[in-house]
Structure 1
Amino acid sequence: MKKQLLVTAMAVGISLCGFAQTKGTNAVSFGVNSTTNKVTVNNYENKVKNNSFTLGYGYFFKDNNKIGLDLTYGRNKNTYNNNMNNDELKSYGGNLSYQRYFPLVKTLFAYAGGKAGYTYGKNNSQSFTTSTQTTSYTSNQYAVGAYGGITWFVSKRFALETSLLSADITYSKTEQNEVNFNSYVTKSEYTSFNLSSQGFINNLGFKIYILF
């Protein structure tokens, strides 16, 4: 009887450890987000489609400590004024991250970490009204930040994670080219430096992990 109780206690203890946050564990994450918003008022229509994709890899180099790499791609298209105006933004990026996990209840963990990333963006805007005009933007953005959230290690092979808090310092450089109906070209360049933070649940995002 004592032996059975001991085995049962060990099994329960193992089940509460979360398995996945142990040294040597690999974690592949992915995410897909697609939204479409459409507003029609009289003869005016505004349609916005947004798609984003994330693929990442992480490695627990010691218990409850993970380093990772994420690659991202996004596409946002805005069509309005009965297709007379189009605005499309594409972005490509990646970031390196570090996360440390803290046990809360059973397989539920809190985490805190930091990251450094780079994003390249390209925007094209066209107007087909009385005079055709094309405006394009290219941007390079560099960011470092801290963030935190909650992770649920659902099983030995799967985990769900959400980001709740973040603070970022970003530097970006943008170049603008504008071509009007008579092929007159205007070029401009500007830079920006920004410090931003997101409060509790203001920057909610989810990740799904496959662990092995």
Structure 2
Amino acid sequence: MKKQLLVTAMAVGISLCGFAQTKGTNALSFGVNSSTNKSSGNNYETKSKNNSFTLGYGFFFKDNDKIGLDLTYGLNKNSSGNASSQEQKSYGGNLSYQHYFPLVKTLFAYAGGKAAYTYSKSDNLSDSSYPQVSGYKSNQYAIGAYGGITWFVSKRFALETSLLSADIVYNKTEQNEINANNYFTKNEYTSFNFSSQGVINNLGFKIYILF
């Protein structure tokens, strides 16, 4: 009887602890986000195409505690007929820490923090009737806290969503412009802000491969 109770308790413990939140587990993650928008009327047409890619690695240094590194790349293109177009590229990365809290079987909540850096570059090209060229370079630094839900689907796969976040962001932007008369101007902007987001406007997903 005692043996049966012990086996039952172990089985319940395993089901509650999930599959792969144990010390020594590696987690490889990737994410892709792509969207296209198009608007047209009698005398105009605008197009917008946005793509972002994320590749990350995480390591459970102890049960339910993970550190991670994520690398990101983004490419956004906007055009307005033949009049003008804009292309923006961004590169970045972040270091993160997450602690997982068991909810039901393989479903976990998590909370953590991160430090991030993003470099962005944008170029604007106007039509030939007014050959103005402008662009900017931006460096952004951020620290923040965030949380969400993770479902450890199996021993090898997990799905994770980010529901809440709060960030402190510092941004420095340098804008260069050349007009039709080859007149060059340079502007610099800095900003500092604190923001928080919730489930409705900050829903994102990750897929983990565990090994």
TM bucket by the smaller chain?
A: over 0.9
Q: Which residue of structure 2 aligns with residue 157 of structure 1?
A: 156
Equivalent residue letter for 1:49: K
User: Is 1:53 aligned with 2:53?
Assistant: yes
Stretches of 4+ moved more than 6 A in 1? 1-6
Structure 2: where are the runs of 5+ without partners? none
Q: Which residue of structure 2 aligns with residue 127 of structure 1?
A: 126
- Aligned partner of residue 132 in structure 1, secondary structure: coil
The more displaced of 180-189 and 116-125 is: 180-189
User: Is 1:103 aligned with 2:108?
Assistant: no
Equivalent residue letter for 1:32: V
- Aligned partner of residue 14 in structure 2, secondary structure: helix
Structure 1: where are the runs of 5+ without partners? none
Equivalent residue letter for 1:162: T
Q: Which residue of structure 1 aligns with residue 207 of structure 2?
A: 208
- Aligned partner of residue 155 in structure 1, secondary structure: coil
Instruction: Supply the distance in 1 between the matched residues of 2:184 and 2:191 (Cα, whole angstroms).
Output: 23
Equivalent residue letter for 1:14: I
Q: Give the CA deviation at 1:203.
A: 0.4
- Aligned partner of residue 97 in structure 2, secondary structure: strand
Equivalent residue letter for 1:179: I
Q: Percent identity?
A: 79
User: Is 1:28 aligned with 2:32?
Assistant: no
Q: Which residue of structure 1 aligns with residue 17 of structure 2?
A: 17
Q: Which residue of structure 1 aligns with residue 180 of structure 2?
A: 181
Equivalent residue letter for 1:198: Q
Equivalent residue letter for 2:177: E
Q: Which residue of structure 1 aligns with residue 70 of structure 2?
A: 70
Q: Give the CA deviation at 1:42.
A: 1.4
Q: Give the CA deviation at 1:83.
A: 2.3
Equivalent residue letter for 1:174: T
Equivalent residue letter for 2:41: V
Instruction: Supply the distance in 2 between the matched residues of 1:205 and 1:21 (Cα, whole angstroms).
Output: 21
Q: Give the paired residue count.
A: 211
Instruction: Supply the distance in 1 between the matched residues of 2:72 and 2:199 (Cα, whole angstroms).
Output: 24
Instruction: Supply the distance in 1 between the matched residues of 2:115 and 2:84 (Cα, whole angstroms).
Output: 35
TM-score if structure 1 supplies the norm length?
A: 0.94
CA offsets per residue over residues 111-130 of structure 1, 9 Å max, x none?
A: 00000010000011111153
Instruction: Supply the distance in 2 between the matched residues of 1:111 and 1:30 (Cα, whole angstroms).
Output: 18
Instruction: Supply the distance in 1 between the matched residues of 2:74 and 2:164 (Cα, whole angstroms).
Output: 22
- Aligned partner of residue 19 in structure 2, secondary structure: coil
Instruction: Supply the distance in 1 between the matched residues of 2:78 and 2:181 (Cα, whole angstroms).
Output: 25
The more displaced of 107-116 and 174-183 is: 174-183
Give the aligned CA root-mean-square deviation in angstroms: 1.7
Equivalent residue letter for 1:77: K
Alignment check: 8 A CA contact 1:165 1:201 kept: no
The more displaced of 175-184 and 149-158 is: 175-184
